Chain A
Amino acid sequence: MDILYKVFVDPFVQMGTAPDLLVQTLWEGLVAGVLYSLIALGFVLIFKASGVFNFAQGIMVVFAALTLVGFHEHGVPAFLALALTIAVMFGLAFAVERLILRPLVNQPDIILFMATFGLTYFLIGFGELIFGGETKVMIADQLLLPRGAIDIKMAGGFVSLQKIDIAAAIIASLMVATLAIFFQRTRIGRALRAVADSHRAALSVGISLEQIWVIVWFAAGLVALTTGIMWGARSDVSFALEVIALKALPVLILGGLTSIPGAIVGGLIIGVGEKLGEFYWGPLMGSGIESWFAYVIALIFLLFRPQGLFGERIIERI
């Protein structure tokens, strides 16, 4: 009886008695959710356009952030460092296409998935070798990103919104809008969708797979860079980010692997769900349930709606 009360009643009572805390928690959840969405967005881009599930997206975020900070540490001014990092991400996309995607064209998806495991571990080793494993500070000020917080009086107390988080939300929205337009309206976007459907069919109508893949991985690299900057500005850059990036997987399950809006909605749901779960139910179980709570949410979802909220239904024909 006591347990039932603790699980089903008490948390909601707490929410009610301190609504400002609730709003704060919701906001924190949304903020985390935006970042998860950005990572998931990178996955969706690559999956939508090449059918590859890029497990290395998380490490690309870290790698991009580290490269940016690394350039700056060697005296390169902030915006030039940014431009150079963008070039590096392009180089990475080119290398991945040449060395991994091209040799594995037409292989089953699971093989490509496993190849991205290899890429992940390679980038982890490479990144640590070049940049060292210590935590670094993101050059947020130099990139003219806002600092400080806005405190809003509401609901009996006050809620503190970090300006950087607001900036992150705005930038993320812009990025999503741009990508959505790009996919739907442009010639290249159409070609990307064709490639996602069938490599062979796309080849036969003259679409250059290599170019498409480089473009897509570059776009994902840009998304990764943005994510890295935003996340690094909030909580410093380290390889721990890579494991957090694994959180994007439940997001994709919720949102559907092929849907950009799904990545956003899924990210927000997971972010909010996680934070609420940790704050109100966490103390019951011992802290740190954030490490698996998202996965459980996703798992429950999988059992009832395997294609996610926005994904396409998979019909198997024989």
Chain B
Amino acid sequence: MRATGGPEAAVGDVLLSVENVSLSFGGVKAVSDVSFDIRKGEIRAIIGPNGAGKTSMLNVINGFYHPQQGRITFKGQTRSKMRPHEAAYGGIARTFQNVALFRGMTALDNIMAGRTLKMHSGFFWQLVRYGPAMREEVEHRHRVEEIIDFLKIQEIRRVPVGRLPYGLQKRVELGRALAMEPELLLLDEPMAGMNLEEKEDMSRFVLDVNDQYGTTIALIEHDMGVVMDLSDRVVVLDHGIKIADGTPDEVKRNKAVIDAYLGVAH
């Protein structure tokens, strides 16, 4: 059961559902006939041994890979092929295992980049900068500074992200995703490579995002403690197939899951 630090976010209807999705890369089947759903306001964990197809699953939800079979229904709309920026406009944001930040830019600019889809001032005003473009820039800067405060990264605003330590880079990446004000946030191993303190901080942030902003979260994670503490429900994948789906307690006791992790052939 997940620990709470504040009022529990109300868990509502299905926000995203994955139906019979299969994905292969030239003969290698990454995902086979997987179906599950994600409810609004919940924290859903996707776990499984290495190579289970978890990242591929997220990439499909994002529109980065197109599945050979199956459909995704998001906010009531079904589609099987979506371009990544359509996913963004639809309200899906994500972070990456290998930190996909813009290395030539500062932390502040990276997060401001996340606001791009909400900025509408025309090209002409951009040429001149004074007037509507500047006002918009300041307005979004307010929002970004809220995120910076939330993630406690004020000191590193102006540091080019290439120079930041790994843990801080992941925080900036989370900030950039939050700047998009997403309805569904996909986190790909947000705690990878972190020590205990950093993991506690990141877990706190994940919970707060869910509590305060009501954002639905799907996360891939290897640390079982984190998964058990944070998530409402868990999906377990192994070799591209779904082998369990339920609350953390149910999944923890599921024999197939235990076998998969211990490497028992099945």
- Contact string, A302-318, partner B, CB cutoff 8 A, digits 1/0? 00000000000001001
B98: chain A residues at CB < 8 Å are: 318
- Contact string, B48-61, partner A, CB cutoff 8 A, digits 1/0? 00000000000100
Bound together, the chains give a CA A198 to CA B96 distance in angstroms of 23
Number of interface residues of A (CB under 8 A): 2
A315: chain B residues at CB < 8 Å are: 25
B89 CB, min distance to chain A CBs, angstroms:
19
A27 CB, min distance to chain B CBs, angstroms:
41
B96: chain A residues at CB < 8 Å are: 318
B138 within 8 A of A: no
- Could you tell me which residues of chain B, from 49 to 79, have a CB within 8 Å of some CB in chain A? 59, 64
A318: chain B residues at CB < 8 Å are: 59, 64, 96, 98, 100
- Contact string, B172-196, partner A, CB cutoff 8 A, digits 1/0? 0000000000000000000000000
B85 CB, min distance to chain A CBs, angstroms:
14
B100: chain A residues at CB < 8 Å are: 318
- Could you tell me which residues of chain A, from 262 to 315, have a CB within 8 Å of some CB in chain B? 315
Nearest chain-A residue to B98 (Cβ)? Answer: A318
A307 CB, min distance to chain B CBs, angstroms:
14
B149 CB, min distance to chain A CBs, angstroms:
29
Nearest chain-B residue to A313 (Cβ)? Answer: B26
B3 CB, min distance to chain A CBs, angstroms:
32
B186 CB, min distance to chain A CBs, angstroms:
12
Bound together, the chains give a CA A315 to CA B26 distance in angstroms of 11
Bound together, the chains give a CA A318 to CA B100 distance in angstroms of 8
Bound together, the chains give a CA A318 to CA B188 distance in angstroms of 11
Bound together, the chains give a CA A315 to CA B64 distance in angstroms of 12
B59: chain A residues at CB < 8 Å are: 318
B170 CB, min distance to chain A CBs, angstroms:
16
- Could you tell me which residues of chain B, from 15 to 46, have a CB within 8 Å of some CB in chain A? 25
Bound together, the chains give a CA A315 to CA B98 distance in angstroms of 17
- Contact string, A127-149, partner B, CB cutoff 8 A, digits 1/0? 00000000000000000000000
Bound together, the chains give a CA A315 to CA B25 distance in angstroms of 10
Bound together, the chains give a CA A214 to CA B43 distance in angstroms of 56
Bound together, the chains give a CA A227 to CA B64 distance in angstroms of 45
Nearest chain-B residue to A316 (Cβ)? Answer: B64
Bound together, the chains give a CA A144 to CA B126 distance in angstroms of 68
Bound together, the chains give a CA A315 to CA B59 distance in angstroms of 14
- Contact string, B194-209, partner A, CB cutoff 8 A, digits 1/0? 0000000000000000
- Contact string, A202-231, partner B, CB cutoff 8 A, digits 1/0? 000000000000000000000000000000
Bound together, the chains give a CA A239 to CA B249 distance in angstroms of 76
Bound together, the chains give a CA A315 to CA B100 distance in angstroms of 17
- Could you tell me which residues of chain B, from 129 to 165, have a CB within 8 Å of some CB in chain A? none
B25: chain A residues at CB < 8 Å are: 315
B124 CB, min distance to chain A CBs, angstroms:
33
Nearest chain-A residue to B96 (Cβ)? Answer: A318
B64: chain A residues at CB < 8 Å are: 318
A131 CB, min distance to chain B CBs, angstroms:
42
- Contact string, B90-124, partner A, CB cutoff 8 A, digits 1/0? 00000010101000000000000000000000000
What are 6 A-B contacts with C-beta separation under 8 Å?
A315-B25, A318-B59, A318-B64, A318-B96, A318-B98, A318-B100
Footprint of B on A, CB under 8 Å? Answer: 315, 318
Shortest beta-carbon contacts, A-B, top 4: A318-B96, A318-B100, A318-B64, A318-B59
